[in-house]
Amino acid sequence: MIFVIIYVFALGLTLGSFYNVVGLRVPANQSIITPPSHCPSCGRRLTILDLVPVFSYLFLRGRCRTCHSKISPIYPTSEAVNGFLFVFSFLHATSIAEMLCGWLLVSLLMIVLVSDLDYMLIPDKLLLFFLPLFAVFRIVYPTDPWWDAPAGLVAGFALLALIALISRGGMGGGDVKLFAIMGLLVGIKTIILGFFLSAFFGAIIGMIGMLFGMIKRRQPIPFVPFIALGMLTSYFFGDQLIAFYLDLIF
Ligand SMILES: [Zn+2]
């Protein structure tokens, strides 16, 4: 078992490192294959040794081997988080379908997260890649009942479109599409709870940020970190949360 976990963790780290490349390059309209990864300051090509996720960053203390310019800690952090989330999905799942579903959700969120943190946008191209992937996944592994997946898509779209209308642009079109395709993957209950948890985490952390002067009023902040937090909480702990909440009021 421990070897399987190590293997899954390594898979998560390696994919996480690839997701960084995708999240960084796709919004800038660059190819994800060429040129090979290089230092953004001096252009030095990264060797196999530099590409070992997380460990190379720790070993080089976060600096380029040649020009010693700093490398953003976003990348090793998202690699490590992806590794842990892959292991968690694996341990949490009771079937292959559930494990794959967790990995797909984590993958989409990690790529969109890197893109949002670097550019404050969710590129359509990324979403258009995941939409058919999720659709095929739900044909091969249908939800129970089968209409839960299309209902999730409609609910994710409708809920966010409504908020976008009310807030007059406070919520972007990227968020609407993101919730629609996540809804297709996770179904109606998880997407609705995920939305409310995202808003809840956003409000709490935003208030703490303003209280300590770290965020100014009206300052645009990336929202995907809260979406990721809310969706993963809903996906992994939704049933417990709902049971706990019902216990509280009845
Ligand atoms: Zn360099």
Highest mean pLDDT among 44-58, 76-90, 116-130: 76-90
Q: Alpha-carbon distance 20 to 53, whole Å?
A: 11
Q: How far is the CA of 118 from the centre of ligand 1 (A)?
A: 19
Q: How far is the CA of 168 from the centre of ligand 1 (A)?
A: 43
Same domain? 9 vs 52: yes
Same domain? 59 vs 139: no
Which pLDDT tens digit goes with each residue over 173-187?
889 999 999 999 999
User: How many structural domains are present in the chain?
Assistant: 2
Q: How far is the CA of 45 from the centre of ligand 1 (A)?
A: 9
Same domain? 86 vs 137: no
Q: How far is the CA of 10 from the centre of ligand 1 (A)?
A: 26
Domain for residue 110, yes or no? no
Q: Alpha-carbon distance 113 to 105, whole Å?
A: 12
Q: Alpha-carbon distance 21 to 96, whole Å?
A: 27
Q: Is the pLDDT of residue 217 over 80?
A: no
What per-residue confidence (pLDDT) applies to 169?
65
Which pLDDT tens digit goes with each residue over 141-199?
999 899 999 999 999 999 999 988 887 766 778 899 999 999 999 999 999 999 999 99
Structure tokens at 96: 């292959």
Q: Alpha-carbon distance 214 to 207, whole Å?
A: 10
> Residue 249 is part of which domain span?
123-250
Domain for residue 112, yes or no? no
Q: How far is the CA of 50 from the centre of ligand 1 (A)?
A: 12
With 0-12 CB in 10 A as exposed, 13-18 as middle and 19+ as buried, what is 199?
Answer: middle
Q: How far is the CA of 69 from the centre of ligand 1 (A)?
A: 6
Q: Is the pLDDT of residue 220 over 80?
A: no
